[in-house]
Chains A and B, each alone.
Chain A
Amino acid sequence: MNKLDNIFKKVISDATLREQYNYDPEEYRNLSQGLQSQNLYVKCIAEIIQSIDKTIELDKANSIGRNVGSPCALSDSAKTALYKKIVTELQRELIIM
């Protein structure tokens, strides 16, 4: 299990989250399975983890090229973009509900 799978598993195993959004964490062994989930919330959590990791890895690669220190946090613009993306996905579902 890699780092992202580990984080995903730990987060979705949280009792409050599980009860609130009614899913069984045992159904998901890794992040990929989360991304394929029918449960919108599990899917969004997986997407958040994947997106953040991708953004950081990309920034790391760029910073090595520019010979500057590696970033360890998301920029405000990256956070806003991801927030909007997740909100759009959830809104679509929530309006139907």
Chain B
Amino acid sequence: MVIKRILIKNFRSYYGEKIFEFSTHLNLILGSNGDGKTTFFDAVNWAFATTENDSMRSTTLVSAKMFSELAPGSTGEVKVSIDMVNKDNQSRCVEKSFSVTKELDGRMHIDNYSFVGYITTSGSRRSVPARDILEKEGLFPAVIKKYCLFKGESELNVFNNKSTLKELINLYSDVKDFDPFKDFTASAVENASKAKIAAEKKQNTNNDAAARLGAQIETQKTLLQSMIEREKECKITYDTTEDKIKAIESDLDTIELVNNIQGEINVLSSERDNLSASLDEQYSIKLLDDLWILYGFQPILEEYSKKTAALSQERQKLLNKHLTEQAKRAAKVEVQKELEDELEKLPWFIPNIETMKQMVEAHRCKVCNTPAPEGSDAYVFMKKRLDEALAHLNPEVTTKEEETEQELFENNYIDEIYKMSISLYDYGDNIAQLGKTIKEKFSDNAEIQSAINERLEKIQLMQNKIAEIVAQSASGEDVSAYLSLWTNIKNWYKNKEDAALDLKDLAKQIPEKKREIEELEEKYNKTMTSVQGKIYARLYTFFNILNRSIERAEASSFNDFLNRLQDEANKYLALLNVDDFTGEIHIFSESGNVKLYLFDNNNKRIERPNTSLETTMHISVLLAISELTKENRDNEYPLIFDAPTSTFDEGKDRNFYECLNSRVDKQCIVVTKSYLTRNDDTGTFEVNEKELAGIKCPVYRISKREGFNKKDLSTIETIVTPYSN
């Protein structure tokens, strides 16, 4: 199939009708960023898509400019129409479209979705379902389209997808054709084996040699089965670990780096925790428990001590004086008593109490009839006699009065204060030390706090660094999710390596085991004594050998297919890299997956080919697949690339296109920004005519119509200009 013409109408930036016409070889569509390169690719992909879903009639496909110009209530159309010729040079067309109505409230309404094909024969054109043309007639089946349309460089390595090999084998190899035969012979081997054993048992149960060999065969078969099971498990382990590794391969260094940083953060966090635990900031408790409250009381204590000492001295003086006076008084009383004792004393009841009371009240002595004014000796004497007389009448009262001798310092407060002062004197020293202790504690805590802050700052910086690194994930995977799996990630490599080694061993051991079983079976057959047993032994041998032959034929077909693909790919690699180092593409199967590597002449693998060489290698494989399609389907299909060489060095892409045009006999439609040079004066991209002059192929320049508003999508329009060179 060859694409002759593509019409794009009101599809995103392709406002109005835009037409491209193509040759059977290279076709270039040149555009810079935002000019509509990817939109072209998407339009073609959309037109060929045979699946039915909402994305096929999405409002996002509608040209904003067309819709903005629609009057309310009126209708426009979005359409992509592709004219082709089939392998018999007959015209075919597929057309996908829908209508767009601007409702009165300004909303967009989509209907009349149509996907139709046209067959032109003898000048007449009839419509058919588009799928009939694309799939049934095989004009462009979805399974082929998958290997024809590529967006960007990342999609070029089709073997990134594990189903690719299976699909390609189904499409282009006879490997799958062996499956039902292999399946049948395996089942026949099993049946013949059972029949053989049953027949022999029936005829000769006493054949010890046969019984021993039969038992050995069964044991070896069990071992073989476990090896096959183990091989399956290893393949699964290999595939799953490889998938996991692949998903994060480009971020592996990042994850390791982040993991190391995380390790440092953990150490710092632990140090911070230890420091926080040693931080002693319970100052309010220390105020009372450690007497910090007394800090600053030293001068007060000294003053207190001085004052209590002075007070104590004063107290002592007063006490001494008091005691002296007391002694004097006692002496006087003693003397008086002695004098009184020496005189004849009147009995206490003479004069009688009443008389004495009258004398005291009258202030006159009735004995000697002399006045006795209050305070005079006579009065005092009278009063005393009266008291003595009364004391006789009431002795308890008298005794009590005698005993009551008032103390000078009844509560002894000064003594206590003084003693307290002495006891506080011991504290004095401690209090003097308090300042130092408190200062040291604050200083220690400040130091610890500073160390904590230092670690917190470092942790914060490291966390910021992790966030930055994680944000730059190359694979697009959430790197942070893999951090906790770091130990597992390291194990993935080991698991994969172990699985690969096991597979290698098993690939050697399984055929050996099969041979061993075959030898045992041969011996077993010779021990057969019954005719029936011998016949079944021969039948078994036949099915067994046939089964192995089919397996070998299948393996040989598989290798033939890969070799054919490899040879074709290398042809294209050489064509696309005329004056450059290429190496040689090696395609081989590793644990059921296809591996593509470049090797040099010394059979040394080129570990990291540059991007352009890698891209060329992938495109060579695609061209090889396309060649296989041609051979197997007797049909050719175009290859459509969107920016396949965006990472090529300057000049390298032009060599590549020249080779693609002149040396590869295949229709290729390439949307690219190659051959465009920025005009520094105008700031726009212009076609480099000098470089483009070397390439003879249809070229279209797509660009945005000038005068658009950067913030208004409805002003964007891609214009398509055929470029003649």
Contacts and interface: CB of A to CB of B under 8 A. Distances in A.
B450 interface: no
Interface string B169-213: 000001011111101110110011000000000000000000000
Contact of B539 (A3, A82, A91): A91
Nearest to A71: B180
Interface stretch (B82-90, B157-165, B540-548, B651-659): B540-548
B193 to A, nearest CB: 12
B550 interface: yes
Contacts of A72: 176, 179-180
B460 interface: no
A95 interface: yes
Contact of B181 (A7, A41, A44): A7
A94 interface: yes
Contacts of B180: 52, 56, 72-74
B535 interface: yes
Given A87-B539, A91-B539, A10 B556 contact: yes
Given A74-B180, A74-B183, A41 B553 contact: no
B550 A20 contact: no
A76 B187 CA distance: 9
B557 interface: yes
A78 B689 CA distance: 69
A3 B177 contact: yes
A56 B546 CA distance: 20
A46 to B, nearest CB: 12
Contacts of B549: 11-12, 14, 16-17
Interface residues of B, number: 29
A71 to B, nearest CB: 9
A3 B557 CA distance: 12
Interface in B514-560: 531, 535, 538-539, 541-542, 545-546, 548-550, 552-553, 556-557
Contact residues of B: prevailing secondary structure: helix
Contacts of A21: 542
B546 A17 contact: yes
B539 A90 contact: yes
B174 to A, nearest CB: 6
Contact residues of A: prevailing secondary structure: helix
A52 B542 contact: no
B553 A11 contact: yes
A29 interface: no
Contacts of B192: 87
Contacts of A52: 180-181, 184
Given A7-B174, A11-B546, A95-B535, A82 B181 contact: no
A25 B192 CA distance: 26
B553 A94 contact: no
A76 B212 CA distance: 32
Interface in A1-32: 3, 6-7, 10-14, 16-17, 20-21
B545 A20 contact: yes
Contact of B542 (A6, A41, A49): A41
A7 B181 CA distance: 10
B184 A79 contact: yes
Given A11-B546, A16-B548, A83 B535 contact: no
A48 B181 CA distance: 8
Contacts of B535: 91, 94-95
B184 A90 contact: no
Given A3-B174, A7-B174, A10-B553, A82 B184 contact: yes
A23 to B, nearest CB: 13
A13 to B, nearest CB: 8
Nearest to B186: A79
Contacts of A76: 187
Contact of A94 (B174, B538, B546): B538
B179 A83 contact: no
A91 B339 CA distance: 171
A49 B181 CA distance: 7
A15 B187 CA distance: 22
A8 to B, nearest CB: 10
**Residue with the highest number of chain B CB atoms closer than 10 Å, among A3, A11, A95:** A11
Interface in A62-80: 72-74, 76, 79-80
Contacts of B191: 80, 83
B178 A7 contact: yes
Contacts of A48: 181, 184-185, 546
Contact of B545 (A16, A82, A94): A16
A17 B192 CA distance: 18
Contacts of B187: 76, 79, 83
B370 to A, nearest CB: 160
A90 to B, nearest CB: 6
B174 A6 contact: yes
Contacts of B185: 48
A90 B542 contact: yes
A73 B183 contact: yes
A6 B553 CA distance: 10
B195 to A, nearest CB: 8
Given A74-B184, A86-B188, A17 B179 contact: no
A48 to B, nearest CB: 7
A94 B180 CA distance: 26
A11 B183 CA distance: 14
Contacts of A20: 541, 545
Closest CB pairs A-B (n = 10): A14-B549, A10-B553, A17-B549, A94-B535, A79-B187, A83-B188, A52-B180, A11-B553, A11-B549, A79-B184
Interface of B: 174, 176-181, 183-185, 187-188, 191-192, 531, 535, 538-539, 541-542, 545-546, 548-550, 552-553, 556-557
29 contacts: A6-B174, A6-B177, A7-B178, A7-B553, A10-B553, A10-B556, A13-B553, A16-B548, A16-B549, A17-B549, A20-B541, A41-B542, A48-B184, A52-B180, A73-B179, A73-B183, A74-B183, A74-B184, A76-B187, A79-B184, A83-B187, A83-B188, A83-B191, A87-B192, A87-B539, A90-B539, A90-B542, A91-B535, A94-B539
Given A7-B174, A14-B553, A52-B180, 10 more contacts: A3-B177, A6-B177, A7-B181, A13-B553, A16-B548, A16-B549, A17-B545, A48-B184, A73-B179, A90-B542
